[in-house]
Chains A and B, each alone.
Chain A
Amino acid sequence: MRKLLILFVTIWLTGCGYNDFQLKDEQVKAAWSEVLNQYKRRADLVPNLVSVVQGYAQHEQAVFIGVSAARASVGNIQATPELINDPAAFAKFQEAQGQMTSALSRLMVVVEKYPELKADKGFRDLQAQLEGTENRITVARNRYIQSVQDYNVLARSFPTNLTAKMFDYTVKPSFTVENEKAISDAPKVDFTPAPAVQGK
């Protein structure tokens, strides 16, 4: 009698987790859309930023080429919500965005050499927007990591993993520490133009 009771209560309280999966799946999707949204916002900022910097620093061709190459590779990836169900495409997307981050920080290093540019009002506003967007990306990424963690714990732990198997809910990819490191590494300032890109 007692065992039956405990079993009943366990099922009652934890359930099979089906509804939890629906909820957490939607949360992951929403968090991912926000990540895409903020990355898009950054990509939209790039042309303005480049044109302002170019006005003061025409000779920094290598850096501009780096930025526009990064922007092109980011634009080549279909940034769709379905990306989170394809780990390979997800990794590629991350790599492209990481390149964008380092190309932009290289650009900002170059800016340090031009005091008039740094004093330009238009540039300062753009710089503030870039800083704000980078921070929004960080926040969106952290929230995505958190939501994926919640989802994956549900997909792996007993007894909800049985539900996950039954309905084919697989573990979702997240941002990993390795590419976090690649992104936060200080960019190498290299003024020799990249031949592969120049041939274009």
Chain B
Amino acid sequence: MDISPTEAQQALDDIDKIMARTRRELANGSGPLQLVIWGLVWFVGFLGSYFLSGPKSGFLWLLLLIAALISSIYLGYRDELRVRYGGLSMRIASSWALLILFATLILWAATPKTAEQANLIFILIIMLGYGLLGIWTWRAMFWVGLVVSALAIIGYLFFFKHFFIWMAVLGGGALIASGIYIKKAGK
């Protein structure tokens, strides 16, 4: 089969273009959008922790978490209708459920002295989940987990009194910014 160099170049350009588009539109599914949603949850939730009383803040967190979980399950289901990863979605969802269960048990066993300490422990365990997800499937998540963990530790050590507002702006902001960046860059 003979083709001209121009045709060969055109074919290679087409391949690169289609692969980039597929990666951008499908490879991560709703992942970037979910990062933005969870970033907004953190932003509003931690602002609530900073400005509201304990019970009101707890109620706000409960509402936010239920809304975010429902949206994550819906978006995950919608992804499955477009691209199926051989049961990977179910395994990831189960891993998150297990991690959240263990985070709750660790919090119970550790009996943290302050709400800030309890939140730091929970954040670090959730970010461990991001890191593992990054190692196993979606590489960008590894860095998200690392950066948010570092921000949480810095906030806890150096800005303890304003830890919640720190996490709202920088923790929530980092998740939102990561979601937007990953979507645009197709990482």
Genuine A/B complex: no
Enumerate chain A interface residues (CB-CB to B < 8 A). Answer: none
